[in-house]
Amino acid sequence: MATLTSLCVYCGSATGADTAYAALARKLGRRCAADGVTVVFGGGRVGLMGILAEAAMDAGGEAVGIIPEHLRAREVGYDGLSELIVVDSMHTRKALMAERADAFCVLPGGIGTLDEMVEIITWKQLGLHDKPIVLLDHDGYWQPLLQLFQHQQQAGFLRPEHARLFSVVGDLDGMFQAIAKAPESTMAPSTARI
C-alpha cells in the first residue's frame, strides 16, 4: 500500500482487565497522529475507543467517530473529535467506517469488536473490498479465535485461502509493516460495494 491516510480501528468499549490494552490503544493513537493517519473508529468516548481517540487528538492528530443515534443518546458519543458522524443504525455505521478507511486494525475487544472484524473479513471474502485487515494479537489475545478458524477449516467450512484475507501481528510495528506491504487496492472507490 503506497500511502496510509486513514485507519479504521475496531476495539473494545471497555478497557479490559489488563492495563496493557489501554496502553496499546494509547500508543496506536499517538502513532497515527505522528504519522498523519486519521483514526476512524466507532465514536465512543468509553473504553479502548475513547483512549485511542483521546491519544490521537492530544498528539495533534485527527479522529473521526461514527456512532449510531441510539448509542449517542446514551451519552457515550465522543464530542471532542475532529468529526463525529451520527448515523441511523449499526449497519450504516459499519459501512461508513469501512468507506472512510484505507485499512483496518483490530485491537482486543468484546462481542462488538468481534462482530465488526468478522464482517469486514467477510466483505473482503465476498469481493466487496480489498483493503488490508490486520489483527493485533497482543499477548495472544486472538489465539482462541484463530484456533476456531483452524477448526472451521478442518471441518471443511473455511478454505486455506481464507487465512490470507487478513494478517496477524504481535505489535504496532508489525501492524504498520503489514499494511505497508499489502498490495494496492485494485478496486476504484466507485466500484467498492460496501
Centre a 10 Å sphere on the Cβ of residue 157 and count the other Cβ atoms it contains: 10
Residue 6 Ramachandran class (φ > 0 left, ψ -120 to 50 alpha, else beta): beta
Q: Are the C-beta atoms of residues 13 and 47 closer than 8 Å to each other?
A: yes
14-20, Cβ contacts within 8 angstroms, sequence gap of 24 or more: 14/46, 14/47, 14/48, 14/109, 14/110, 15/47, 15/48, 15/51, 16/48, 16/108, 18/139, 20/138, 20/139
Average pLDDT over the chain, rounded to an integer: 93
Domain residues for the domain of 119 are: 6-181
Identify whether 186 is part of a domain: no
DSSP letter (8 states) at residue 186:
-
pLDDT value, residue 140:
96
Is 188 a member of any domain? no
Q: What is the per-residue pLDDT for 74?
A: 75
**What is the structure's pLDDT at 79?**
87
pLDDT at residue 1, rounded to an integer: 64
What's the whole-model pTM score? 0.94
Query: How many structural domains compose the chain?
Result: 1
Select from 65, 33, 69 the least CA-distant residue to 49: 65
Per-residue pLDDT, 188: 59
- Is residue 16 assigned to a domain? yes
Please identify every stretch of the chain with a pLDDT value under 70, giving residue numbers as ranges. 1-2, 75, 188-194
CATH number for position 115: 3.40.50.450
